[in-house]
Amino acid sequence: MEKLPANSFCLLACVLVLFLSSVLAVTDDPQDKQVYIVYMGSLPSRLEYSPMSHHVSILQEITGESSIDGRLVRSYKRSFNGFAARLSEPEREKIADMFRNTLQDHSAISYISNQEGKNTKRNLEVESDTIIGLIDTGIWPESESFSDKGFGPPPKKWKGVCSGGKNFTCNNKLIGARDYTREGTRDLDGHGSHTSSTAAGNAVAGASFFGIGNGTARGGVPAARIAAYKVCTSTECGSEAVLSAFDDAIADGVDLISVSIGGGGAARRYEEDTTAIGAFHAMAKGILTVNSAGNSGPKPTSVGSVAPWILTVGASTTNREFLTKVVIQNGKTLSGRSVNAFDLQGKNYPLVFQGSEAKGKILVSVYSFSSDVAVATITKDYKNYATISSRPLSALSPDDFDFLVSYVNSTKSAQGTVLKTEADFNQKAPKVASFSSRGPNTIAVDLLKPDITAPGVEILAAYSPLGSPTEDIDQRHVKYSVLSGTSMSCPHVTGVAAYIKTFHPDWSPAVIQSAIMTTAWSMNASDTGVASTEFAYGAGHVDPIAALNPGLIVLNHGTKLSVKVSPDVLFMKSVNEKQSFTVTVSGDNIDPNLPSSASLIWSDGTHNVRSPIVVYTDVPNDSI
């Protein structure tokens, strides 16, 4: 970072300039100016300080012009200090180095409700005063998941606005909306509605995708309020918009922030990561930020959200999976994956390979996932999870696909059919999804990321009727849809954090994060090597009920490792008392290519606080 002359900006303690790869900024400006973020840290405490005046004076000095019309894009002045401006390359060089920043959304029946029993505690009065801010693609306000039936007025602490654009109305459930895209806060994609309803949607009976997955869809804390901050269009999520959303959300009075967007697989230094910057200021105000880990797994070092003050979430499977059966004429039934809402009524059709005339037939193809003329498509499964198909489709396991190919080759009149998708019980769940981004953390190698894992595969939640469930050619419109990704697991944990906060409103973000992580339970990943260890799932799988009441023994796990804790007993006489201890790990003949795992558990006989321990000799590379 370039150091600025002290006499240039006497109030500027720290400046970071972030470059935005914005197509609009490039093509709309005839003088080849780009949009940059000038991040200036916390707001000065002096009453006479005016952020806007300071930002204008900086621009005037940089440009050498008294008028800055069209230059200042945004001024961050509510929760932290900085601005976004259109600058030429020479002007940029007067401030600091630049970095390229692109953000992606992380999408590829509520978890708390699945664990709830008749005796599960709820604190509805406090829950109703809890506000969750979601930074995403917006929201569909008319969805039943966001109805305010039974809700009273917004909490008095709420300082936000409803600025959703034309024909957009907030209510006592959806209490706030802001747009940073010029599209309005209405969700045109479906992603933001899906994540919002997962975190805090109302209980809606009979929710399904064309009858698939039929049941009651509800969020983690259905009595909580929602504030939507739209920063993403269908093509991009602007970094300067993300910072603006954090700036407003913090000042608006939200209790938690959920961000199901992030980098495209590469972790950035904290000072170059707009989500990390915004989350840091949120943390300073007592607001926990939950962020998706990314969908670049199972590649090692692919986790994108690595700041220690962010709760980073990986994705796991659930005990419900969607199966699409293929029945061939010889009576054999093969179970494939997809979310296929089309019903062929059990009618058999000829099975043909790609390259043959497919009209009126079922196409069997390794690579083609759809056909404009075929009745249906049967392909090989490369994803290990079900996705929605715009035409009848089933993706078979490699073994079943090879069996089908052999059958087609064995007869001149091979026939079969593809059935409508059914929900089935997944005995192997939960496992870390193959797409979920993995550690190790490349920015701070001693900090384990992701932090926690939660359901993120084949999640049914609210959707935008304007968003296609598959692609543009799919003209179907739905109120609820099925998505997979760490975008889906992130709001699950946001709901858990909000649930905890309703019982412990005085807990800091760090305490809530600790409660979630130390009460998680160990799990398995769907891969081997680094991709199957704590680098895949962090502290483990989230346990919402246990996280309400975390407590304090040391159990050593893992072969070839010796773990010594000193002292091995902690005596605490009062709440919030602090104690320190030292963990020493030693061992022989540890495989240098594989991490070794153990757990440290403090217990008082009732409560268990578990921390994962991962030992490795070097940061694994892509060849592992």
My answer on whether 496 and 420 are in the same domain is no
My answer on whether 324 and 308 are in the same domain is no
Q: Which of 105, 129, 136, 247 is catalytic?
A: 136
**What's the pTM value of the predicted model, to 2 decimals?**
0.78
Specify if 282 maps to a domain: yes
My answer on whether 351 and 410 are in the same domain is yes
Contact present, 512 and 500 (Cβ < 8 Å): yes
The rounded Cα 619 to chain-centroid distance in angstroms is 25
My answer on whether 175 and 38 are in the same domain is no
Q: Which of 487, 514, 526, 597 is catalytic?
A: 487
Check residues 242 and 606 and name the one with the higher pLDDT: 242
Specify if 542 maps to a domain: no
Specify the CATH number for the domain of residue 370. Answer: 3.50.30.30
Which residues contact residue 599 at a Cβ distance below 8 angstroms, ignoring those fewer than 6 apart?
522, 555, 556, 557, 558, 610, 611, 612, 613
Q: Which of 54, 55, 106, 191 is catalytic?
A: 191
Which of 101, 134, 153 represents a domain boundary (last residue)? Answer: 101
My answer on whether 244 and 380 are in the same domain is no
Mean pLDDT of 568-580: 85
Contact present, 152 and 172 (Cβ < 8 Å): yes
Among candidates 469, 438, 473, which has minimal Cα distance to 453? 438
Helix, strand, coil percentages in the chain from 3-state DSSP, rounded to 5? 20, 25, 55
Average of per-residue pLDDT values in the chain: 84
Q: What is the DSSP string of 228-292?
A: EEE-B-SS-B-HHHHHHHHHHHHHHT-SEEEE-EE-SS----GGG-HHHHHHHHHHHTT-EEEEE
The tokens describing 572, both together, are: 């605490």
pLDDT of residue 608: 80
CA atoms within 13 A on the CB side of 15: 25
What is the dihedral angle through the alpha carbons of 170, 544, 503, 152, rounded to the nearest 10 degrees?
20
Other C-beta atoms within 10 Å of 275: how many? Answer: 29
Which of 53, 82, 101 represents a domain boundary (last residue)? Answer: 101
pLDDT at 149 exceeding the cut of 60 = yes
Specify if 4 maps to a domain: no
Specify if 309 maps to a domain: yes
Distances (CA, A) of 374 to 363, 391, 395: 6, 9, 15
Catalytic residue check, 255: no
Specify if 9 maps to a domain: no
Query: What are residue 614's phi and psi, to 5 degrees?
Result: -125, 125
The tokens describing 118, both together, are: 């008749």
Dist CA 511 CA 157 (whole Å):
22
My answer on whether 312 and 357 are in the same domain is no
User: What's the chain's length in residues?
Assistant: 624
The rounded Cα 342 to chain-centroid distance in angstroms is 30
Specify if 61 maps to a domain: yes
Which of 376, 403, 425 represents a domain boundary (last residue)? Answer: 425
Lowest-confidence range among 6-15, 111-120, 190-199, 456-465? Answer: 6-15
My answer on whether 507 and 400 are in the same domain is no
Specify the CATH number for the domain of residue 607. Answer: 2.60.40.2310
Among candidates 453, 463, 465, 501, which has minimal Cα distance to 483? 463
Specify if 6 maps to a domain: no
Catalytic residue check, 424: no
My answer on whether 309 and 272 are in the same domain is yes
Dist CA 335 CA 413 (whole Å):
22
Max avg pLDDT among 258-267, 442-451, 520-529: 442-451
State what percent of residues in the chain have pLDDT above 70. 83
pLDDT at 52 exceeding the cut of 60 = yes
Check residues 567 and 493 and name the one with the higher pLDDT: 493
Mean pLDDT of 388-408: 94
My answer on whether 292 and 438 are in the same domain is yes
Mean pLDDT of 152-168: 97
My answer on whether 155 and 238 are in the same domain is yes
My answer on whether 127 and 110 are in the same domain is yes
Domain count for the chain, please give it.
4
Specify if 152 maps to a domain: yes
My answer on whether 85 and 133 are in the same domain is no
Other C-beta atoms within 10 Å of 289: how many? Answer: 31
pLDDT at 7 exceeding the cut of 60 = no
Specify the CATH number for the domain of residue 466. Answer: 3.40.50.200
Confidence of residue 392 (pLDDT cuts 50, 70, 90): very high
Confidence of residue 498 (pLDDT cuts 50, 70, 90): very high
Confidence of residue 12 (pLDDT cuts 50, 70, 90): very low
Question: Residue with structure tokens 């006489």?
Answer: 573
pLDDT of residue 56: 81
Mean pLDDT of 66-93: 83
pLDDT of residue 25: 33
**Which range marks the domain in which residue 599 is found?**
551-615
Catalytic residue check, 191: yes
Confidence of residue 524 (pLDDT cuts 50, 70, 90): low
